[in-house]
């Protein structure tokens, strides 16, 4: 699967926030072997890993960087942050977040579409963090987005895929659009489920960074991505409402009473 014309080495996308130390982050990236890492300009600029040392660590991974506009609540904030990130990280890729609701960190889809339009006109390749709403998805595609990133559940909740019907409908309605399940994935089994629905990648952060053993969890997610992709490619059997015997009755020996 190509994302804006580029093929990633892995379908796992890994966030870089909340790790207890730079060394744990580095080990998690090595074990997870993600296709890209995401970085928040606003948060890293104000956090403990701020500055050149953090950027040198990210560059040392040798994999693509996807800056994000985490913490932005307006179109102006998001657009300004995206432009700053392009200068700092030397990429026109951006994960676009415009948060509209504080408790659930739900995207403000109206501002999201407007910010996406502005940024694509400015030459950005936008990865929009959105809901599974089909109308919003249509608007984002019309605004110039070539990737969609619906949430599985609220950011950091670890609840997995809250709306299977909505996610399945979204995947089916836009069969040729690269899609990444972003936010809410808490366990490797959630990742497998996302790939079994036909999604092309997952983006996780808290599930790895705040695990008891982030490095082992990163490896588990790497394997889950491989398993989920294989399962989808194998064309799983359909669900049935009735039991079907796995052993056929034809050809069985018949004993007279």
Which positions are annotated as active-site residues? 95
Please tell me the distance from the alpha carbon of residue 209 to that of residue 153, in angstroms, as a whole number.
Answer: 17
Please tell me the distance from the alpha carbon of residue 199 to that of residue 206, in angstroms, as a whole number.
Answer: 20
Chain-centre distance for alpha carbon 175: 17
- Length of the chain, in residues: 257
- How much is the CA Rg of the chain, to the nearest whole Å? 20
Pairing state of beta strands 201-204 and 180-182? Answer: parallel
C-alpha angle with apex 141: 198 to 167, nearest 5 degrees?
Answer: 30
């Amino acid at each position: 699967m190509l994302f804006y014309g580029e093929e990633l080495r892995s379908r796992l996308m890994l966030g870089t926030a909340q790790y207890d130390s730079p060394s744990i982050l580095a080990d998690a990236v090595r074990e997870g072997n993600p296709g890209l890492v995401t970085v928040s300009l606003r948060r890293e600029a104000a956090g403990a890993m701020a500055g050149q040392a953090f950027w040198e660590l990210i560059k040392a991974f040798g994999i693509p960087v996807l800056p994000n506009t985490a913490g932005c609540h307006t179109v102006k904030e998001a657009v300004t942050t995206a432009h700053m990130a392009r200068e700092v990280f030397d990429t026109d890729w951006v994960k676009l977040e415009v948060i509209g609701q504080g408790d659930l960190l739900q995207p403000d889809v109206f501002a999201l579409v407007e910010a996406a339009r502005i940024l694509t006109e400015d030459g950005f390749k936008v990865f929009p963090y959105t809901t599974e709403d089909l109308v919003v998805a249509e608007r984002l595609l019309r605004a110039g987005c070539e990737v969609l990133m619906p949430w599985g559940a609220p950011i950091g909740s670890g609840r997995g895929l809250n709306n299977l019907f909505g996610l399945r409908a979204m995947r089916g309605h836009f069969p040729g659009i690269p899609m990444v399940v972003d936010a809410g994935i808490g366990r490797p089994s959630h990742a497998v489920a996302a790939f079994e629905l036909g999604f092309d990648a997952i983006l996780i952060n808290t599930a790895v960074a705040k695990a008891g053993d982030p490095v082992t969890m990163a490896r588990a997610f790497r394997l889950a991505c491989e398993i989920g992709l294989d399962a989808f490619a194998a064309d799983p059997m359909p669900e049935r409402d009735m039991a079907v015997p796995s052993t056929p009755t034809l050809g069985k020996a018949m004993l007279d009473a």
